[in-house]
Amino acid sequence: QGGFGAPLARHAGKVKRVSASVATFGVGYGVCWAQGREESASQLLYCAAALSWTGFTGGLRRLGQSLPEQAEWPLAKIMQVEAKELRVLAKMVASSAETGHDSATLRRILLGRVCKIAEVDPLGPAARGLVEKTETEGDTAPDAPVDSWSTLQELAALLDDSTQAVAQLSGYAPGAGERALIQPLSAAMQAIVSAGGPQWHEELGCCGVLHIAHAAAVATLWLAAARRASSMAASP
């Protein structure tokens, strides 16, 4: 215990700083962002909450990467939070839709996070958290066995649903926010397919393949619109 007690004390301070900075960022971002935007105050609050959550989980992930392997308990707790990241974020978005506060901006936040996680680790804790649950609390069990096919299918479904929602709420007329998602979306789809291996179509199943194709169709639409806009801007 003494071997990593001092590092844990230092990292505990990091957690406090991360939590405080994330909370300040979320509130400040929502207040500043409200000027000149079409979203209502309630919609902006949902966006601020989503950004705060992703900032918090991202901070914990970086903290976990710096902890020694002997720190098994804190590492396990951090992994549990990681496993809830996408599930909690998706529930925030669903709640906003149910209460009439859905927005393209909030959907872009979710899609951006799904893309990042899919690109970095499509079979990691955050992706597995979409599938795994314990028998008692319904929380993710990060050390439980998991089928890669079920994880990839759930991740592909969330990627597709988020992409379609962004497209619909933006009226299928991609703006700067959608154009910025083209590359991350492409990278996410490639990572999911690569994680499935040579038999990726079997790993994803029919539904998973359709989800990827559906999301790819929207990405193609956005790319074509971006190229048209660039051509028009370049023409005399």
Q: What does pTM read for this prediction?
A: 0.79
Q: Please state the rounded mean pLDDT for residues 89-98.
A: 96
The whole-number pLDDT of residue 149 equals 86
Helices (H), 121-199: 125-128, 148-169, 176-179, 182-195
110 pLDDT more than 70: yes
201: which DSSP letter? H
pLDDT-derived band at 128 (thresholds 50, 70, 90) equals: very high
pLDDT-derived band at 161 (thresholds 50, 70, 90) equals: very high
Q: Please state the rounded mean pLDDT for residues 185-194.
A: 97
Question: To the nearest whole number, what is the mean pLDDT of the chain?
Answer: 83
192 pLDDT more than 70: yes
What distances in angstroms separate CA 36 from CA 31, 32, 41, 148, one per listed residue?
11, 9, 12, 44
pLDDT-derived band at 133 (thresholds 50, 70, 90) equals: low
CA nearest 177: which of 112, 93, 90, 230?
112
What distances in angstroms separate CA 175 from CA 112, 143, 149, 219, one per listed residue?
15, 41, 34, 13
Span 71-86, pLDDT tens digits: 899 999 999 999 999 9
Lowest mean pLDDT segment, chosen from 83-92, 122-131, 169-178, 213-222: 169-178
The whole-number pLDDT of residue 24 equals 45
Higher pLDDT, 105 or 19: 105
User: Buried b / exposed e across 130-149, counting CB within 10 Å, b at 16+?
Assistant: bbbeeeeeeebbbeeebebb
Phi-psi region of 121 (alpha: psi -120 to 50; beta: other; left: phi over 0): beta
Distance (Å, whole) CA 177 – CA 30:
17
12 pLDDT more than 70: no
The whole-number pLDDT of residue 172 equals 78
Span 15-69, pLDDT tens digits: 555 454 444 444 444 444 444 456 789 999 999 999 999 999 999 989 998 999 8
